[in-house]
């Protein structure tokens, strides 16, 4: 059993607005904290498949990015480099050493934070961060179609209607000219959760990735070289929707000074949803090695 509390954060831009939503969950081990940092279009609840298990051992913060969930909207400031200072400020405000566990966009942000405040970040877990090679091919990827559809649906309040409409989105299939209905390979409950996330999402968060500006000011491999703490890199299978193809995964693993890499064949990008047992096993193995 755990409790969830809202924690205000200092806005580094100087505004009086609270720019991000953050929840702290108290576990019995509080020597340092775990921060769970979600991917594009999600929110802190995205980590619900692993949250209860982790709170049995750690003090856990589940964090929502700007533009997501109940966090402040910042139109025009949704590059990866814009998200990093938010989490830096939150980690500094907590005044405790921590481990960052980031998925997708959250992995890129976590890596940036680990490079900027090495005295506070003792380890980082990078779950299938989207690489530059993947992002450069977004126009021909199913994710390009999915993200454009999500952008159109963002902000709508009828969760059931959005879930049905999202399920009917057709994405490119394996064969030339083939399209597949999204609802035929994603279950209805997961699509409803996506629809609920979209309800509180600023559509502008999709502009930088779709317009190929997402990594402006963020050099993934140069930043990786500055991450001195141990890093666990979890690579999903590109054939099943993973966002870190070998052309990105290999140089990233080589750039991280202390990298433990695990590839998960047949597991897609939503690693902690699609293979929760393996995710928890890898996390506990890595965390208990620190």
The answer on pLDDT for 24 being more than 60 is no
Confidence of residue 31 (pLDDT cuts 50, 70, 90): low
Relative to beta strand 21-25, strand 59-64 is antiparallel
3-state helix, strand, coil in the chain (%, to 5): 45, 15, 40
Q: Is the pLDDT of residue 30 over 90?
A: no
Note the pLDDT of residue 22.
54
Tokens for 229, please give them: 């703490």
pLDDT tens digits, one per residue of 172-225: 877 788 889 999 989 999 999 999 999 999 999 999 999 999 999 999 999 999
Please say if the pLDDT value at position 132 is more than 60: yes
* Domains, the chain: 3-136+214-288 (3.40.50.1820), 137-205 (no CATH)
CB 86 within 8 A of CB 21: no
Question: Which residues fall within 8 angstroms of residue 83, CB to CB, at 6 or more apart?
Answer: 65, 66, 105, 109
Task: Encode 228-238: b = buried (16+ Cβ within 10 Å), e = exposed.
Answer: ebbbbbbbbbb
């Amino acid at each position: 059993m755990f409790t969830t509390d809202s924690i205000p954060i200092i806005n580094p831009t100087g505004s009086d607005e609270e720019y991000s939503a953050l929840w702290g969950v108290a576990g019995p081990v509080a020597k340092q904290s775990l921060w769970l940092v979600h991917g594009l279009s999600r929110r802190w609840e995205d980590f619900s498949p692993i949250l209860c298990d982790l709170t049995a051992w750690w003090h856990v913060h589940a964090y929502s990015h700007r533009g997501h969930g109940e966090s402040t909207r910042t139109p025009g400031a949704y590059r990866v480099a814009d998200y990093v200072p938010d989490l830096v400020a939150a980690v500094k405000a907590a005044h405790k050493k921590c481990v960052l566990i980031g998925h997708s966009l959250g992995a890129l942000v976590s890596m940036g934070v680990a490079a900027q405040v090495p005295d506070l970040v003792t380890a980082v877990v990078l779950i299938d961060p989207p690489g530059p090679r993947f992002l450069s091919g977004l126009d021909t990827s199913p994710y390009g179609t999915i993200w454009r559809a999500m952008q159109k649906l963002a902000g709508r309040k009828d969760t059931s209607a959005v879930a049905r409409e999202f399920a009917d989105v057709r994405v490119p299939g394996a064969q030339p000219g083939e399209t597949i209905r999204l609802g035929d390979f994603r279950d209805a409950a997961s699509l409803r959760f996506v629809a609920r996330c979209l309800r509180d999402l600023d559509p502008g968060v999709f502009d930088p990735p779709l317009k190929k500006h997402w990594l402006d000011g963020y050099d993934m491999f140069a930043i990786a070289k500055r991450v001195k703490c141990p890093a666990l890199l979890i690579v999903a299978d590109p054939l099943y929707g993973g966002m870190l193809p070998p052309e990105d995964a290999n140089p990233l693993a080589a750039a991280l000074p202390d990298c433990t890499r695990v590839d998960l064949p047949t597991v897609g990008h939503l690693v902690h949803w699609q293979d929760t047992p393996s995710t928890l096993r890898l996390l506990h193995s890595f965390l208990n090695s620190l």
